[in-house]
Amino acid sequence: MLKGIDQRLTAEILHMLMSMGHGDSVLLCDVNHPAAEIARHTVAGKVLHMAGSDLPAAIGALLSLMPLDTFIPEPVQRMKVVGDPEAQLPLFSEIQSVVNEIEGRDVGMGALDRFEFYAAARNCFGVIRTSDSGPYGCFILTKGVINLPPVISVNL
């Protein structure tokens, strides 16, 4: 373990987050999502697991390290409820609250029809499957940038 890093974030997840660049996206999904089929189309090529974690905790852990994109209006996307696209499940507002709190701002969250969401998910950098039982626990997060200080060279 490392200091200051959420224990839900495995070495594989940390590697993927560090490998992602600005504008890359990651899919966090529940146990019902066809994660393996989607993941084989991504850059990472496989599902990474956050066993024992629900979606609010998983998104909180990821956003403790990964900034959301500020250059696009909706850096978070979710799946619309099939047959009732205007439905607002409690999970949607819970995730919105988590995201807003961590980012310290109102973050736009878009909603895509099922097959539009699957297409967007296939274009993600990677897939992280949680233990959340769902339903509709599928969220795409787009990575932003951090304004870091310059790396200082040390002469030994």
Active site residues: 22, 69, 118
42-67 exposure pattern, b = at least 16 Cβ within 10 A, e = fewer: bebeebbbbeebbbbbbbbbbbeebb
Distances (CA, A) of 10 to 2, 6, 122: 11, 9, 22
Inter-residue contact 129 to 33 (CB < 8 Å): yes
Q: How far apart are CA 96 and CA 13, in angstroms?
A: 22
Nearest Cα neighbor of 122 from 28, 22, 43, 12 is 43
